[in-house]
């Protein structure tokens, strides 16, 4: 190899290296999407109620205070495993009743404490939200959150 690098040699190394790493990036991105779709998302258990619960989660901006599987704000508790903490993963009716009762008790009225807003949800919406949280608790989430406390 020559002792002096010409402009054309430098250009070829730059473009060749850039193309190489772009191809690696695209390959890893495709691999990640395939992995997530095939192993992480349990699409077989998605019901219309779970999908409606996800829409409610987004509509009311729950992620602005809560986290779910590590995504969101860290102001309020993690809800990715809330049904495990409440020990209702095997009983959808208990999950519905627990979530509805807890949300109906908000706001607590404690002075100098930020409150969760009161949402006027119907029973169907409470059920959809509890089904979404049950589904989130049951999917393969790569051991997140790292402890049961959320």
How many independent structural domains does the chain possess? 2
- Are 32 and 63 contained in the same domain? no
- Are 108 and 138 contained in the same domain? yes
3 part of a folded domain: no
Domain holding 52, by residue range, is: 44-150
Contact call for residues 126 and 103 (beta carbons, < 8 A): yes
CATH value at residue 124: 1.10.760.10
Q: For the ranges 4-18, 92-106, 132-146, which has the lowest average pLDDT?
A: 132-146
Q: What is the pLDDT of residues 9-38, one digit of tens each?
A: 999 999 999 999 999 999 999 999 988 877
Q: What is the pLDDT of residues 59-102, one digit of tens each?
A: 999 999 999 988 999 888 899 999 999 999 999 999 999 999 99
- Are 12 and 82 contained in the same domain? no
Between residues 119 and 41, the one the model is more confident about = 119
70 part of a folded domain: yes
Q: ω before 145 within 30° of 0 (cis)?
A: yes
- Are 14 and 84 contained in the same domain? no
- Are 35 and 73 contained in the same domain? no
- Are 32 and 95 contained in the same domain? no
- Are 58 and 124 contained in the same domain? yes
């Amino acid at each position: 190899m020559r002792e002096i690098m010409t402009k054309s040699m430098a250009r070829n190394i730059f473009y060749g290296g850039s193309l190489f790493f772009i191809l690696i990036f695209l390959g890893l991105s495709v691999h990640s999407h395939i992995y997530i779709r095939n192993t992480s998302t349990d699409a077989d258990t998605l019901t219309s109620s779970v999908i409606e619960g996800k829409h409610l989660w987004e509509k009311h901006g729950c992620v602005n205070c809560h986290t779910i599987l590590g995504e969101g704000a860290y102001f309020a508790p993690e809800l990715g495993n809330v049904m495990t903490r409440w020990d209702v993963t095997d009983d959808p009716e208990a999950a519905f009743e627990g979530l509805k009762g807890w949300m109906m008790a908000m706001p607590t009225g404690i002075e100098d404490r930020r409150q969760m807003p009161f949402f006027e949800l119907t029973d169907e919406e409470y059920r959809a939200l509890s089904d979404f949280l049950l589904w989130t608790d049951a999917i393969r989430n790569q051991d997140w959150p790292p402890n049961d406390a959320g």
